[in-house]
Amino acid sequence: MSGSVILVTGGSGLVGKAINEIVLEEKSKGNKEYENENWIFLSSKDGDLRERTATEAIFDKHQPTHVIHLAAMVGGLFHNMEHNLDFFRENMAINDNVLNASHKYDVKKVVSCLSTCIFPDKTTYPIDESMVHNGPPHSSNYGYSYAKRMIDVLNRGYWQQHGRRFTSVVPCNVFGPHDNFSSTAHVLPALVRRMHAAMQSGESEFVVWGSGKPLRQFIYSRDLARLFVWVLRHYDSVDPLILSVDESDEVSISQAAEAIAAAFDFQGKIVYDTTRADGQYKKTASNKKLRELCPEFTFTPFTTAVKETVEWFKVNHESARL
């Protein structure tokens, strides 16, 4: 891909920052795969991707040959439940604009980011790439989920009508440095922020919303970044590809809370507020296809990734997204 211009939308977010760090690391090592590549990481300051003219202005300026599409309106369970329409409309606009501009400006390849929440609520487990459209997603975040599903529909349309190599990946729950640690964040970064606050105020109890029983697969952002680059270089099918840790690495929310408490050396008691909604109980994903295509990949152990995330947050909490 020497001479390529790779445009990363959502480049200032969790995954975008991780990709940026991986690119800089590999370039500093003299990795020839990255030689003469120009990586451009966009943020919302570069233009509003909800607006078609603004999106096309970005593409006209940078003339990308490849795109990694990460930009989205995102939020945690409770924010999704209250704003499903907003999540649908804004993400539909962003995705349609980015893919249409990619076609208009003759981009060779686009890799868009989906989410495991797109899969049907009522299904068999583990879920795999063939099951995306087999039934309605969970009602708590149907707006975001349906908008993300439509990327797959758009990709197939651009392939069928124009022969475009637009594809998508489906990560499990991502976390790591540079995450959104606000009150509307996803479960793990929200727990990190609240645990930090509990430690600062010397609290003896830490309250986790929900029962702690739901199960999730968590992927470290740096691992996902490396997989994104691999997909950009080596995966050419229009069909989605699940990027997830193994099924055996699934953990409960209570186990995640305990790992965060251990990383903070919290000596108090963890309490579960069962008056709060749990959301979807599980959404176990199979990474069989990924393992067949990239068998040598090694994931960072969950507790190690949590520890590194907590250490980053402790140093950077004043400038982190809160």
Catalytic (active-site) positions: 144
* In contact, 170 and 285? CB cutoff 8 Å: yes
The residue among 65, 66, 64, 44 whose CA lies nearest residue 54 is: 44
The residue among 200, 212, 179 whose CA lies nearest residue 268 is: 200
Q: What is the 3-state secondary structure (H, E, C) of the chain?
A: CCCCEEEEECCCCHHHHHHHHHHHHHHHCCCHHHCCCEEEECCHHHCCCCCHHHHHHHHHHHCCCEEEECCCCCCCHHHHHHCHHHHHHHHHHHHHHHHHHHHHCCCCEEEEECCHHHCCCCCCCCECHHHCCCCCCCHHHHHHHHHHHHHHHHHHHHHHHHCCEEEEEEECEEECCCCECCCCCCHHHHHHHHHHHHHHCCCCEEEEECCCCCEECEEEHHHHHHHHHHHHHHCCCCCCEEECCCHHHCEEHHHHHHHHHHHHCCCCEEEEECCCCCCCCCCCECCHHHHHHCCCCCCCCHHHHHHHHHHHHHHHCCCCEC
Calculate the CA 190 to chain-centre distance: 15
Instruction: State the Cα–Cα distance between residues 89 and 142, nearest whole angstrom.
Output: 12
For residue 169, report the phi and psi dihedrals to the nearest 5 degrees. Answer: -125, 155
* Cβ atoms < 10 Å from Cβ of 46: 18
